């Protein structure tokens, strides 16, 4: 089922049952990839759009010295990416951070939706615009916020995005990332990341254990990170 995608798109428009069935049928099969597997490699020419049904993945760049930089986290309901089949080759890679179930949408099916089903096309384009807004906010986060506010901002964002996907109803969400993966996304060393996590815990803002993140004081965490969910275009999500 692609329910998380329907939940996410509902923040833009209400899809009809026929539109949901069309989108469901366009994804011809699901596949399971293991933690650490490459879903799409930089330099490849994609033939499918992939939807995350279960699990977490990331967009990343592999540098010549072997370092990774994670540019985005992908969770249930996220597409990677609607317009990916237009590219001659990928300019970044996508990797599974956990075991991931993917729904495959052939390029021809996506082109059919974009050319012949304008409401669905607008909804999918909205999803792409939200992805771009997230990237812009990450650039601001990396460039201007101190380390504790930087990490607090990502925690706030992932809570709201998880709620948009219909995968959380309270302030406790799945958060399966290692400190190394957090470090790769924040531009911090693992030692610095550990210090920041300990500070957020000590201040009573978050609890992070057993691959679960609990927001203990949402208002203070928002204030620390200067988090404004407007860039996620999700005005009806609690928070």
Give 184-223 pLDDT, tens digit per residue. Answer: 999 899 999 999 999 999 999 999 999 999 999 999 999 9
- Confidence at residue 46, expressed as pLDDT on a 0 to 100 scale: 83
Give 46-68 pLDDT, tens digit per residue. Answer: 889 999 999 999 999 988 787 88
The sign of the torsion formed by the CA atoms of 79, 237, 178, 53 equals: negative
pTM of the model: 0.93
CB contact burial 108-121 (16+ within 10 A = b; e otherwise) = ebbeebbeebeebe
- Confidence at residue 67, expressed as pLDDT on a 0 to 100 scale: 81
- Confidence at residue 238, expressed as pLDDT on a 0 to 100 scale: 52
- Confidence at residue 28, expressed as pLDDT on a 0 to 100 scale: 79
Ranges under pLDDT 50 in the chain: none
């Amino acid at each position: 089922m692609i329910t998380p995608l329907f939940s996410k798109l509902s923040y833009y428009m209400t899809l009809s049952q026929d539109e949901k069935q069309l989108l469901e049928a366009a994804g011809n099969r699901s596949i399971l990839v293991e933690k650490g597997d490459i879903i799409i490699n930089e330099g490849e020419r994609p033939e499918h759009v992939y939807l995350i049904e279960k699990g977490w993945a990331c967009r990343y760049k592999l540098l010549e010295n072997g370092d990774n930089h994670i540019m985005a986290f992908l969770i249930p309901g996220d597409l990677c990416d609607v317009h990916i089949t237009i590219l001659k080759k990928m300019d970044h890679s996508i990797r599974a951070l956990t075991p991931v179930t993917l729904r495959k949408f052939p390029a021809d099916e996506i082109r059919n939706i974009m050319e012949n089903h304008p409401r669905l096309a607008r909804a999918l384009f909205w999803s792409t615009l939200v992805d771009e807004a997230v990237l812009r906010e990450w650039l601001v986060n990396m460039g201007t916020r101190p380390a504790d506010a930087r990490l607090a901002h990502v925690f706030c964002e992932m809570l709201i995005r998880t709620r948009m996907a219909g995968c959380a109803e309270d302030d406790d969400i799945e958060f399966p990332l290692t400190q190394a993966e957090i470090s790769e996304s924040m531009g911090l060393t693992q030692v610095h990341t550990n210090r920041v996590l300990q500070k957020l815990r000590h201040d009573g803002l978050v609890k992070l254990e057993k691959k679960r993140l609990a927001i203990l004081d949402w208002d203070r965490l928002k204030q620390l990170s200067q988090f404004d969910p407007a860039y996620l275009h999700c005005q009806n999500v609690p928070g």
